């Protein structure tokens, strides 16, 4: 289990009541009780108040299902209705009144007071004035917004990221800029991302488009899960109606429910979800095979590196993690491989012909090693060190990848890079090598019309570009504008592919057969892709969700940074960014 699992509630408090353990819930109740003993404090049902926030109010009314996240700074007289969220690092001070459904992004300042400006006195000696700030119902306030004293924000308004709001905002208005100005009315039926030549918001309508997309996805989430549940016999999840039940479909359902609803799929209780997934694991190998034709666990031979059981190391492991649980047994098939066996396996992988297959093997192996570490079960001594040492000494410095791109295509090399780095450098919080060459390679691939022209994209190909670019952007500004232009174009296409009540198809290509039909896999993958595309554009907060499973942006575990200098690998300081 993620060693920082408990911190996810402090930073994503809306997930708490849907997935917290009984012990965690009791601790939150105790904290609220002690906090509410102060005069002038009331806390509604299912509210969440993290001890990591600095909350020192004269008066506080926290409505039902409302949350205050880590490192928020809250003082003064604060009234919050139901379903309100103050996100991490946000400042709310002075006399502030919020209606229901107010969502405030990270690093925003709501300042219901001001200094006087009498020139005969220094500013710090000026008396404070306070007119207060009033915010209506159903208001979205993006990240890094500043709202100044005396402002009234009407119901259903949207304050775009970075806006400086100095004047009243009418109901249903979308405002942005410094100082904030009216962009459009939310009820306007115009496209969320306007076509060229149409007067648009400074961000091209991006934030509003993301918010509208996420609202639609959340509204449809329960129906999407229900349509993929087979009620016959014991009940199982299928990728789409008419398909056979699979392990991955169950895991995708858990990921979608966590992402959009902050809960578990309602077809089973949390304990039933955990029990079913844990029962999949073979206690001898630690692998989880596919379901048989009668939906019981297949009892055939299991071997790491072949078949769906290899990917289940990721999907089942992270589904259990989202449920606040873990595999019952270590992944013995990986724990038993000594350093020499790891090196021999890496040498034997088909890097030249099948870079994706090779990257997928590394992804699954390193993820299994992570689950073993999370269970305090030792992997074979030196095996993880050999893995990273081998990778650092076998990367192609000219391309920044493992495997060499050909003149004809970079598809398998780039796609294999995503799988490899997802399970290793990204999952363990380590910087990737030759990052600028990697950016050049991925961007050259990203314009290949065979894979990225309109209506040619599929979830794997877009994910396998956006994740490496996103990961590289944490280390370098090299070609940052090129990254953003590509992300903007792909995001525009992705946001228009939602099928009401059904979700997203794996492939946008009309001729791709069943892959063009909405599925759980397509929905789960594209939701994560859209988050990464939006985050490259500094706009992901507008979605109101953040992947926490297989596609989580934060490292699952931080290791000491491995650096290669003059052929030697040594331990450096821990990396703390994601």
- CA end-to-end span of the chain, whole Å? 18
Question: Left (φ > 0), alpha (ψ -120 to 50) or beta: where does 498 sit?
Answer: beta
Closest CA relative to residue 157, chosen from 173, 146, 141: 173
Three-state secondary structure call for residue 139: strand
Tell me phi and psi for residue 280, to 5 degrees. Answer: -70, -30
**How many C-beta atoms surround the C-beta of residue 268 within 10 A?**
18
Find the length of the chain. 578
Cα distances (angstroms) measured from residue 369 to each of 314, 350, 418 = 11, 22, 18
Cβ(242)–Cβ(522) below 8 Å: no
Measured CA to CA, the distance from residue 380 to residue 402 in angstroms comes to 25
Verify whether residue 5 is a known catalytic residue: no
Measured CA to CA, the distance from residue 539 to residue 543 in angstroms comes to 8
Closest CA relative to residue 537, chosen from 475, 496, 486: 486
In the numeric block, which tokens belong to residue 426? 């990204």
> Which run of H or of E encompasses 67?
strand 67-68
Measured CA to CA, the distance from residue 553 to residue 560 in angstroms comes to 18
Measured CA to CA, the distance from residue 116 to residue 319 in angstroms comes to 54
Measured CA to CA, the distance from residue 548 to residue 320 in angstroms comes to 12
Measured CA to CA, the distance from residue 108 to residue 106 in angstroms comes to 6
Closest CA relative to residue 357, chosen from 415, 399, 297, 272: 415
Closest CA relative to residue 111, chosen from 136, 127, 125, 91: 91
Q: Which residues contact 40 (CB under 8 A, 6 or more apart)?
A: 57, 58, 59, 60
Residue 67 CB-density burial (10 A; 0-12 exposed, 13-18 middle, 19+ buried)? buried
Measured CA to CA, the distance from residue 336 to residue 369 in angstroms comes to 10
Active-site residue (options: 5, 6, 29, 115): 115
Measured CA to CA, the distance from residue 325 to residue 165 in angstroms comes to 44
Three-state secondary structure call for residue 482: helix
Cα distances (angstroms) measured from residue 367 to each of 113, 256, 317, 337, 557 = 50, 21, 9, 14, 11
Q: Which residues contact 273 (CB under 8 A, 6 or more apart)?
A: 250, 254, 264, 265, 319, 323
SS (H, E, C) 165-223: ECCCECCCEEEECCCCEEEEECCCCCCCCCCCCCCCCCCCCHHHHHHHHHHHHHHHHHH
- Known catalytic residues are 115
């Amino acid at each position: 289990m993620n060693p920082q699992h408990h911190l996810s509630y402090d930073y994503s408090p809306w997930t708490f009541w849907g997935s917290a353990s009984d012990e965690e819930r009791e601790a939150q109740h105790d904290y609220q009780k002690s906090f509410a003993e102060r005069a002038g404090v009331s806390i509604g049902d299912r509210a969440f108040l993290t001890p990591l926030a600095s909350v020192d109010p004269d008066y506080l009314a926290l409505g039902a299902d409302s949350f205050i996240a880590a490192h928020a700074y809250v003082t003064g007289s604060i009234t919050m209705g139901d379903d309100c969220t103050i996100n991490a690092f946000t400042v709310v001070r002075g006399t502030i009144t919020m209606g229901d459904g107010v969502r405030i992004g990270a690093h925003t300042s709501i300042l219901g007071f001001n200094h006087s400006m009498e020139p005969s006195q220094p500013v710090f000696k000026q008396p404070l004035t306070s007119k207060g700030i009033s915010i209506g119902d159903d208001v979205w306030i993006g990240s890094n917004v500043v709202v100044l004293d005396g402002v009234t924000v009407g119901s259903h308004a949207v304050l775009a990221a970075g806006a400086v709001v100095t004047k009243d905002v009418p109901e249903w208005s979308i405002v942005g800029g410094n100082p904030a100005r009216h962009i459009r009315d939310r009820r306007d039926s115009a496209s969320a991302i306007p076509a060229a030549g149409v007067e648009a918001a400074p961000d091209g309508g991006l934030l509003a488009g993301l918010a509208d997309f996420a609202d639609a996805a959340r509204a449809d989430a329960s129906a999407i899960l229900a349509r993929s549940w087979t009620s016959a016999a014991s009940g199982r999840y299928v990728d789409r109606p008419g398909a056979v039940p699979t392990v991955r479909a169950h895991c995708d359902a858990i990921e979608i429910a966590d992402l959009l609803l902050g809960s578990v799929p309602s077809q089973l209780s949390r304990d039933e979800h955990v029990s079913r997934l844990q029962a999949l694991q073979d206690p001898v190998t630690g692998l989880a095979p596919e379901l048989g034709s009668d939906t019981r666990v297949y009892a055939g031979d299991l071997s790491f590196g072949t078949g769906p059981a290899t990917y289940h190391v990721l999907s089942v492991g992270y589904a259990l993690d989202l449920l606040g649980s873990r595999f019952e047994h270590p992944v013995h098939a990986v724990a038993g491989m000594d350093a020499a066996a790891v090196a021999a396996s890496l040498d034997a992988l088909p890097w030249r012909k099948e870079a994706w297959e090779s990257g997928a093997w590394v992804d699954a192996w390193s993820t299994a090693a992570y689950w073993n570490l999370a269970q305090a079960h030792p992997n074979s001594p030196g095996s993880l060190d050999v893995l990273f040492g081998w990778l650092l000494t076998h990367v192609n410095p000219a391309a920044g990848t493992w495997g060499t791109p050909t003149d004809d295509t970079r598809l398998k090399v780039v796609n294999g890079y995503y799988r490899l780095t997802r399970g290793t450098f990204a999952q363990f919080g380590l910087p990737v090598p030759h990052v600028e060459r990697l950016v050049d390679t991925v961007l050259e691939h990203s314009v290949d019309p065979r894979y990225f022209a309109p209506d040619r994209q599929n979830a794997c190909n877009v994910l396998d570009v956006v994740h490496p670019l996103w990961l590289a952007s944490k280390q370098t500004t090299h070609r940052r504008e090129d990254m953003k232009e590509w992300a903007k174009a792909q995001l525009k296409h992705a946001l228009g592919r939602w099928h009401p009540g059904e979700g997203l198809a794996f492939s946008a290509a009309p001729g791709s057969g069943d892959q063009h039909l909405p599925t759980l896999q397509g929905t789960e993958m594209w939701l994560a892709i859209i988050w990464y595309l939006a985050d490259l554009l500094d706009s992901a907060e507008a979605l109101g969700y953040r992947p926490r499973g297989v596609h989580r942006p934060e490292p699952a575990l931080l290791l000491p940074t491995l650096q290669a200098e003059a052929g030697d690998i040594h331990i450096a300081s821990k990396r703390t960014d994601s």
